[in-house]
Amino acid sequence: MSYVHRDDTGSKMAMWLFIFTELLLFGGLFITYAVYRYLHPEAFHLAGQELDVTIGTINTVILLISSATIAMSITAIQQKKKKLSLFLIGTTIVLALIFLVNKYFEWGAKFEHGIFPGSEYLDQLGYGDTLFFGLYFFMTGLHAFHIIIGMAVLGFMFYFVKIDRLTHDNFQLLENGGLYWHLVDLIWIFLFPLFYLIA
């Protein structure tokens, strides 16, 4: 017999604490970005113009909608609308997938032009460009990795709702999953202007 204990407030608190750690994880990269942008303002300005604002905007909209759908799925389960909740979680996962597909094409285009970490072409362009694209690939890559983790988390949530482990009076886990998804969204909200718009 092991000890069983349910504490929704505690569980939510733990999730918020974990979100702090994730923000600090990216915080290290934001500091690096700030330092190198300060050292190479011109190059960062020009390199930023190389990125495709249209795809970036589309991806931003996709993520914002996905945050809305996951929030709605939590409301749906509270109102005992299990099917609607499942549909909304599913939609979130599909939107995340579309985000990744866009990202794949975006990265692919850069690779074709010889822009990837350690490429000879980047070395010719100079320090600022090397650092800008180094940060771009590292930060969006780490973000994409978080999207994949988020999709796995939401996949579990879908399953738990399906087998009624999460119900209208016991949905804290889904709320935590939603919080995590909002975090992934929030980080993108910072990445998008820093790389695409400040140019």
What is the spatial distance between Cα 146 and Cα 190, in angstroms, rounded to a whole number?
A: 15
Q: Residues 41, 114, 117, 193: which binds another protein (CB under 8 A)? A: 117
Minimum CB distance to another protein, residue 192 (Å): 20
**Mapped to the 3 state alphabet, what secondary structure does 128-190 carry?**
HHHHHHHHHHHHHHHHHHHHHHHHHHHHHHHHHHHCCCCECCECHHHHHHHHHHHHHHHHHHH
Closest to another protein by CB, 29 vs 186, is 29
**Residues in 6-35 that interact with another protein by CB under 8 A:** 7, 9-10, 13-14, 17-18, 20-22, 24-29, 31-32, 35
Q: Residues in contact with another protein, total (CB under 8 A)?
A: 39
Closest to another protein by CB, 30 vs 87, is 30
Closest to another protein by CB, 128 vs 150, is 128
**Residues in 140-159 that interact with another protein by CB under 8 A:** 142
Q: Residues 60, 67, 69, 130: which binds another protein (CB under 8 A)? A: 130
Closest to another protein by CB, 90 vs 134, is 134
What is the spatial distance between Cα 137 and Cα 143, in angstroms, rounded to a whole number?
A: 10
123 binds another protein (CB under 8 A): yes
Q: How far is CA 11 from CA 8, 15, 141, 180, in A?
A: 5, 6, 29, 13
Minimum CB distance to another protein, residue 22 (Å): 7
What is the spatial distance between Cα 175 and Cα 185, in angstroms, rounded to a whole number?
A: 15
> DSSP label at 7?
-
Question: What six digits make up the tokens of 52?
Answer: 């495709």
**Residues in 40-59 that interact with another protein by CB under 8 A:** 40
138 binds another protein (CB under 8 A): yes
150 contacts: CB under 8 Å, gap ≥ 6? 96, 180, 181, 184
**Contacting residues toward another protein, per CB under 8 A:** 1-3, 5, 7, 9-10, 13-14, 17-18, 20-22, 24-29, 31-32, 35-36, 39-40, 117-118, 123, 126-128, 130-131, 134-135, 137-138, 142
